[in-house]
Amino acid sequence: MKVLVDGEIVARSVVKVDMEDRGYQFGDGVYEVINIYDGVPFTLDEHIERLYRSAKEIGMSILFESDHLKQDIRKLIKENNMKKGGLYLQVTRGVAPRTHQYQKDISSKLIAYPLPYKEMAETRSSGVTAITEQDLRWLRCDIKSLNLLYNIMIKQKSYEQGAFEAILIRDGLVTEGTSSNVFIIKDGTIYTHPATNLILNGITRQKLLEVFLENGWTCKEQPFTTKELMEADEVFVTSTTSEVVPVISIDGKSINNGIPGSLTRKIQQAFSNTVKKETSS
Ligand code: PLP
């Protein structure tokens, strides 16, 4: 496997992480996961824009211009001969003697590498189960930070219960999943939490808002309660790697009699069409 390290493409076997890298010690950094379809990175501009925004929000500068980084990413995909799968990209604040406060002049460290393709067709087709959990994360969930401790604790809990995702609840309102955004449908209207500091503004979420507009489907970006979630006609979660996944049961209670809803099906199809359109050369 070839890996992009600070602007150079090298073999995975030579990549070393310094023990004083602040990403390693503090989770002091940001990341992105990008999907590759037919050799093309989907919504690359949006992912790179979010990466730079996350970096800016934590007062970190990325050494490369975004256009340069995009070029490097395309080169990495080519050199790995990737047709499908994902791409993991992270930037840490860099290497420095361990103290919580940081010097502004240290050089950030960038690394990107291919993630194996995950077959999700069956999951998307049959739908998944979810649990609900308290959202006890910090109040800057809009930053795609390397600090994922609470997310992984709760994801593990859902995994151990045989569920695909845990839906997080803060002050009685649904925010998002541990690694996804959450949508409900009630009486033909789609609802999702607004893009505030309480959620990550998913790229899939953003793309879907465009898809809804194109198809004349009404979507309200407004918070909804746990009760509204449980009584929804349809529920689905979205992310880069999973795309649009119907949720057919939450905390053991069936949604839409335990089958993916018809509007969710249409949304999945419309999203696939968008992906095809934007990744075909
Ligand atoms: N929310 C959280 C907390 C996530 O970790 C993710 C993706 O990993 C998402 C939402 C979905 O974001 P995207 O559609 O950009 O993958």
Q: Give the ipTM.
A: 0.99
- pTM of structure: 0.98
Decide if 253 is catalytic.
Answer: no
Do 227 and 183 fall into the same domain?
yes
Query: Which pLDDT tens digit goes with each residue over 136-167?
Result: 999 999 999 999 999 999 999 999 999 999 99
Is residue 281 over pLDDT 80? Answer: no
Do 236 and 147 fall into the same domain?
yes
Place of tokens 């990403």: 23
- Paired residues of 191 in beta bridges: 184, 220
Do 275 and 155 fall into the same domain?
yes
**Helix, strand, coil percent values for the chain (each to nearest 5):** 35, 30, 35
Question: Candidates 35, 90, 133, 240: which one to mutate for ligand 1, based on the most atoms within 8 Å of Cβ?
Answer: 240
**What residue numbers bound the domain in which 19 lies?**
2-115
> How many domains is the chain built from?
2
Do 162 and 227 fall into the same domain?
yes
Do 198 and 235 fall into the same domain?
yes
User: What is the pLDDT at residue 124?
Assistant: 98
Do 100 and 205 fall into the same domain?
no
Which protein residues are within 6 Å of ligand 1, measured from CB? 176, 179-181, 200, 202-205, 238-240
Q: Cite the DSSP H helix spans in the chain.
A: 22-26, 44-57, 66-79, 121-126, 149-160, 203-215, 226-230, 262-279
Q: What is the phi/psi pair of residue 168, to 5°?
A: -95, 140
Query: Which pLDDT tens digit goes with each residue over 44-94?
Result: 999 999 999 999 999 999 999 999 999 999 999 999 999 999 999 999 999
Given pLDDT bands bounded at 50, 70 and 90, which one contains residue 200? Answer: very high
Is residue 43 over pLDDT 80? Answer: yes
> Cα of 178 to ligand 1 centre, how many Å?
8
Q: Which residue has a Cα nearest atom 2 of ligand 1?
A: 179
Distance CA 49, CA 217 (A): 27
> Cα of 147 to ligand 1 centre, how many Å?
13
Query: How much is the mean pLDDT over the chain?
Result: 98
User: What is the pLDDT at residue 126?
Assistant: 98
From 109, 144, 155, 207, the catalytic residue: 144
